[in-house]
Copies of this chain bind each other. A is one copy, B any other.
């Protein structure tokens, strides 16, 4: 007999009255000597199916192994449920225990656990309601991202993870090596001889695929990356991971306005996809962690994003009369408190700021006529502040070179990137979205370690 998933059993009225087989894990068992109820979950949905054991058919001994966390196969009649909140349930006819879970050893007993505790058992936490919900939403968002770009004719481009270049300067890097670190080969001057390393030179893990993304866009037109990136920063905060996933679209022939249009459409599409496809999981997280979750998601989906310049934004902040922890004036990098003030208090809408001072932005951003600002854009959200950062890119070879020299970026790392401006350069734009930021926003979780299956942070690389 073919097993039916719990999600199907609960959503297919036509199955009621038929014999079905379910497989899954016991969440709870309760009852008396006449009847026992098992809540069975198989991961396909946050909802359990109730399995009813008529104790005239089964003995106490038979049911004894059905403790929380144990696994079984059960066959029986699917019937409409009498109980509140259940659509249907299985009247057990026969069952088989696959694996037990010793109640004294299995850490996920019925009682609630702190998120901190669950982080230490990240290998088991996907079995909880919370992490089941988060990981299903994460999966749906990942698919929404691919679907959005593919339907628009973008090509998925895999940029390299191991890189010999560190020109982007987005953060501290992890070194990748096959040298014997205990006793590396050394050259005549006693320095480590990287010509003996796997790639014949010093290599690191990438901090961004953007520069390679531009190579793709100036050939294929519109590309997006979606892959892991790394930062070796010793930041033990709820917002930082050493290993995280980034989405970086890059588009030939897009100016900053096209770029903003795309970013707004993109992020609304992803959130709407989650609302449409993960209703049960979002509802659970809303009830457990974040009462305003659905409202905040709809707030983003249903509002036009306000667009204004960094300068205008700073003026609003200066005139707000509000006391900020970090003082703000033209030239300062905005903090989360400033971004959230603009979004949550001033405009009451998501905001896109443009034309930032060039000093606080990357070398490759297109320089404005004023000589002071660049065509950067940051998309600001309630609750989390910046969710997307991007820009139109400087496509003029001479202007780009001047900026590279000004910032002393080593040319040896840049020749291939500059070729995009030497040969058939075009106006182009792109942006980056930290995937975990989006998952944080959509799940309402507050610690980034709780929205990736196996978080990597200083001192932590378990599992």
> A residues near B, CB below 8 A?
3, 5, 7, 23-26, 42-44, 69-71, 73, 98-102, 105-106, 108, 123-124, 126-127, 131-132, 135-136, 138-139, 142-143, 146, 150, 153, 155-165, 172, 174-179, 181-182, 184, 191-192, 198-201, 203, 205, 212, 215-216, 218-222, 227-228, 230, 232, 234, 242-243, 245, 252-253, 395, 416-417, 419-427, 452-454, 456, 458-463
Residues on B with beta carbons closer than 8 Å to the beta carbon of A192: 181-182
- Whether the Cβ atoms of B419 and A124 lie closer than 8 Å is yes
Known A-B contacts A220-B126, A426-B99; A181 and B178 likewise in contact (beta carbons under 8 Å): no
The answer on a CB contact under 8 Å between A124 and B162 is no
Given A69-B424, A132-B220, 15 more contacts at CB 8 Å? A42-B252, A99-B421, A99-B425, A105-B423, A127-B218, A139-B156, A159-B454, A161-B243, A162-B243, A162-B461, A174-B176, A176-B176, A198-B242, A212-B453, A212-B463
A132-B219, A161-B243, A243-B160 known; A177 vs B178 contact (CB < 8 Å): no
Q: Smallest Cβ distance from A4 to chain B, in angstroms?
A: 11
In the docked arrangement, what's the CA distance between A302 and B416, Å? Answer: 44
CA distance A221 to B182 in the complex (A): 43
Question: How far in angstroms is the closest Cβ of chain B from A398?
Answer: 12
B463 lies within 8 A of A215 (CB):
yes
Once A135-B216, A215-B126 are accepted as A-B contacts, the answer to whether A395 and B99 lie under 8 Å apart by CB is: yes
Q: Which of B143, B162, B177 contacts A146 (CB 8 A)?
A: B143
Report which residue of A3, A24, A159, A199 has the largest number of chain B beta carbons within 10 angstroms of its beta carbon: A199
CB <8 Å contact, B453 and A159: yes
Selected from B132, B139, B201, B461, the residue in CB contact (under 8 A) with A203 is B461
Tell whether, in the assembled complex, residue B105 and residue A422 are in contact, meaning their CB atoms are under 8 Å apart: yes
A163 to B454, CA, bound (A): 10
Given A99-B395, A126-B220, A456-B162, A181–B182 Cβ distance below 8 Å? no
Contact between chains at B228 and A453 (CB < 8 Å): no
Give the contacting residue for A174; candidates B71, B178, B245, B459; CB below 8 A. Answer: B178
Please give the distance in Å from A381's CB to the nearest CB on chain B: 22
Which of A42, A124, A158 counts the most chain B CB atoms within 10 A? A158
**Given that A43-B252, A69-B423, A99-B395 are known contacts, is A220 also in contact with B135, CB under 8 Å in the complex?**
yes
Complex Cα spacing A3 to B221, Å: 12
Look across to chain B and name the residue whose beta carbon is closest to the beta carbon of A455.
B160
Given contacts A3-B253, A178-B172, A424-B70, contact A460 B205 (CB under 8 A): no
Q: How far is the CA of A42 from the CA of B200 in the complex (A)?
A: 36
- Please give me the residue from chain B that is nearest to A220 by CB atom: B43
- The reply to whether B416 and A462 contact each other, CB–CB distance below 8 Å, is yes
- Chain B contacts of A174 at CB under 8 A? 162, 176-178, 198
**Which residues of B are found within 8 Å of A459, using beta-carbon distances?**
198-200
Q: Which 8 A-B pairs have the closest CB atoms?
A: A99-B425, A126-B219, A43-B221, A43-B220, A199-B461, A71-B424, A123-B416, A139-B155
Q: A42-B221, A425-B71 are in contact. Are A175 and B172 (CB under 8 A)?
A: no
